[in-house]
Chain A
Amino acid sequence: MASRTFESINQKIKSGQVAVLTAEEVVDLVKDQGIDAAYDQVDVVTTATFGPMCSSGAFLNFGHSNPPIRMEEISLNHVPVSGGLAAVDTYVGATQESTDRGLDYGGAHLIVDLVKGKSVKLRAKGKGTDCYPLKEVERNISLEDLNEAYMYNPRNCYQNYAAAANTSDRVLHTYMGTLPAHTNLVTYSTSGCLSPLLNDPYYRTIGIGTRIFIGGAQGYVAWRGTQFNSGGPRDENGIPHGIGATLALVGDLKQMDPDYLAPASYKGYGTSLFVGVGIPIPIIDKDMLKQVALDNDQLFTNVLDYSVSEGKRPVLARVSYQDLQSGSIELEGRRVKTAPLSSLKKARHIADKLKEAIQTGQFYLSQPLELFDHQSGVKGLKKEDLCGQNS
């Protein structure tokens, strides 16, 4: 049978003939019927995740006041936002904490409040110039008052995130949640076999320009994500042992739905943003089908010791997502409880929603304009030598 193309699949979407399954459903279909028979029954597989993604944020444009101001120091609901973007543009970082409520209200909360249509307090100062004479402005604004508001997340959708444990004798408060001492809990954060890049480990269909579901809107993969680490070792199924690739995502805040976003505050760590992401994978050939048919017992990640804060964290175990999702794993010769950070319930809902949107012709696939490499590594911060000069 000839390989399928994005175009041929979009034709099927248009004619209402497209066969779509979620990445969980396709596992069962292939187990039942095998690759050859299943190939004829599925054109697109929907993947999804709903997890805390710290490297997220939004660009906003306020419009000019009269007389105008060049906003240099800006806050929204007491959350400091970027003042380094011309006169009335800003970027809100999800992890930026407010100056009045600390980690209980941060950039993530602000972004979700905007999506909910709530009014937020803008305060801005500038030095005053001939072209921007105003020195201070204060307004209550909501999403509809902004010219543009779009989420741009520099690093989302880690391909394969490591699970976390704590072997030390004190409780640790981390972005992987509160980790009790003496390895009494393992936390993990992916949706396993539903997770987007675990289903397309060699980035054959997901690249720059891939249309996605993000926060309830249709958005795009904008670029490779920061700390893109595609060159590390992989297992026999092509799944990176380490964290692998990441994606930079973009989507219109004005089209988003607060059901698919949630602000988060992690005790002793800070704020983050749960982002709901769904990515369709066209089953362009049988190899692609084999990849998406991998089940949770074939997908593995490392458990790292978060009590080591300098240098590389030691790998305590290599475990399957099936074991992690079961509620406990075998670690250091005993059963240790597991708990997720990302919501499988929400991820499933997004995969179903995206499936329905494709089946009903509301969502078409887009072919990537550029594909990602398999050789990238990640550098640490450049070291400084003893003389104080960069080495």
Chain B
Amino acid sequence: MRTKLIMKFSKDLSNRPITYDLIQSFNLCVNILKAEINHAFEGLLVLDIEGKSSDIAGGLKYLEAAGVEADLITNSIEIDPDRCVSCGLCTGLCSVRALVLSKEERALDYQANRCVGCNQCVGVCPTGAIENAIW
């Protein structure tokens, strides 16, 4: 299966090679979508991961035991259908084509599996319909 994983690290953990362990011990194929570390040495990592369901479950157990705050996420953004007017402005800044206007209906179509959580769309949506669903 393929999914997205968000991890938050405390200062104590930010020097530990957690991602390496996920690859090495659980055979997960990892693509780093976002990595941040703040002035207090607290870190945030968003990964696109692919592997067997049992390995992903094993990885999550490992993260829990290591004290990493971790969660699987299906959506990087949430779109409020009551606010979205399908103007399509967000599609212009979505370089991975997770947000497109459908050919026939010209309705906004969000394909979560393509989204890399860059959040460019959140700021440009004029009606405030798109929210960051990760943090």
A345-B126 in contact (CB<8A): no
A267 within 8 A of B: yes
Q: Is the CB of A338 within 8 A of B92?
A: yes
Chain B residues with CB under 8 Å of A345's CB are 85-86, 101, 105-107
Q: What residues of B have a CB within 8 angstroms of the CB of A337 in the complex?
A: 92
Within 8 A of A (CB), among B89-114: 89-93, 100-101, 105-107
Note all chain A residues with C-beta closer than 8 A to B107.
345
**Known contacts being A50-B85, A346-B85, is A339 close to B126, with CB within 8 Å?**
no
B93 touches A274 (CB 8 A): no
In the assembly, what is the distance between CA of A265 and CA of B100, in Å? 21
For B86, B87, B90, B91, the residue with the greatest tally of chain A CB atoms inside 10 Å of its CB is: B87
Could you tell me the distance between the alpha carbons of A180 and B126 in the complex, rounded to whole angstroms?
16
CB contact between B126 and one of A52, A327, A344 (< 8 Å): that residue: A52
Which parts of A235-288 form the interface with B (CB within 8 Å)?
A: 262-267, 272, 274
Contact of B86 among A177, A185, A272, A343 (CB under 8 A): A343
Q: Which of A262, A339, A344 contacts B106 (CB 8 A)?
A: A344
How many Å lie between the Cα of A265 and that of B128 in the bound state?
Answer: 8
With A264-B126, A267-B124 as contacts: A185 and B92 at CB distance below 8 Å: yes
Q: Which of A117-174 contact B (CB under 8 A)?
A: none
In this complex, how many residues of chain B approach chain A with their Cβ under 8 Å: the count is 20
Partner of B85, one of A104, A177, A266, A343: A343
Q: How far is the CA of A350 from the CA of B91 in the complex (A)?
A: 23
Q: Tell whether, in the assembled complex, residue B87 and residue A341 are in contact, meaning their CB atoms are under 8 Å apart.
A: yes
Query: Residue A263 contacts which of B86, B123, B127 (CB distance < 8 angstroms)?
Result: B127
CB closest residue in chain B, given A344:
B106
B43 close to A (CB within 8 Å): no
Shortest beta-carbon distance from B127 to chain A in Å: 5
Q: Is B88 part of the contact surface with A, judged by Cβ < 8 Å?
A: yes
Indicate whether A178 reaches chain B with its CB closer than 8 angstroms: yes
Q: Which residue on B lies nearest to A263, using beta carbons?
A: B127
CB distance from B21 to the nearest CB of A (A): 37
Q: Which residues of chain A (302-353) have a CB below 8 Å from chain B?
A: 327, 337-346, 348
Pairwise interchain contact B106-A348, C-beta atoms closer than 8 A: yes
How long is the Cα–Cα vector from A148 to B114 in the complex, in angstroms? 49
Chain B residues whose C-beta falls within 8 Å of the C-beta of A342 in the assembled complex: 87
Complex interface: chain B residues within 8 A of A199 (CB): none
Q: Which residues of A contact B85 (CB under 8 A)?
A: 50, 262, 274, 343, 345-346
The closest CB in chain B to the CB of A176 belongs to B89
The CA-CA distance from A265 to B89 in the complex, in Å, is 12
| Given known A-B contacts A178-B93, A337-B92, A345-B107, A265 and B126 have beta carbons under 8 A apart | yes
Q: Does A183 contact B (CB under 8 A)?
A: no
Residues of chain A within 8 A of B105, CB atoms compared? 345
In the bound assembly, the distance between CA atoms of A345 and B85 in angstroms comes to 8
Bound: A185/B94 CA distance, A: 11
CA gap between A23 and B86 in the complex, in Å: 20
**Which residues of chain B have C-beta atoms less than 8 A from A339's C-beta?**
88-93
Task: Indicate if the CB atoms of A267 and B123 lie closer than 8 Å.
Answer: yes
Chain B: CB-nearest residue to A337: B92
Q: Given that A267-B124, A348-B106 are contacting pairs, would A343 and B88 also be in contact in the complex, using a CB cutoff of 8 Å?
A: yes
Chain A residues with Cβ below 8 Å from B91 are 327, 339
Return chain A residues, CB-CB under 8 Å to B88.
339-341, 343-344
Q: When the two chains form their complex, are residues A177 and B123 in contact, meaning their CB atoms are under 8 A apart?
A: no
**Distance from A219 Cβ to chain B, minimum over Cβ atoms (Å):** 20
A187 — which chain B residues lie within 8 A by C-beta? 89, 92
| Contact indicator per residue, chain A 47-60, by CB within 8 Å of chain B (1) or not (0) | 00011100000000
Q: Which B residues are in CB contact (< 8 Å) with A340?
A: 87-89, 101
Considering the chains assembled together, what is the distance between the CA atoms of A235 and B106 in angstroms?
A: 28
Residues of chain A lying within 8 A (CB to CB) of residue B128:
104, 265
Question: Within the assembled complex, what's the spacing in Å between the Cα atoms of A177 and B88?
Answer: 11
Assembly CA distance A339 to B87 (angstroms): 9
Q: Which residue of B lies closest to A179 (CB)?
A: B92
Q: Which 6 A-B pairs have the closest CB atoms?
A: A339-B92, A264-B126, A345-B86, A344-B106, A340-B88, A345-B106
A-B contact pairs, 20 of them (CB 8 A): A51-B87, A52-B126, A177-B89, A178-B124, A187-B92, A262-B83, A262-B127, A265-B126, A272-B126, A274-B127, A327-B91, A327-B100, A327-B101, A339-B93, A340-B88, A340-B89, A342-B87, A344-B101, A345-B105, A345-B106
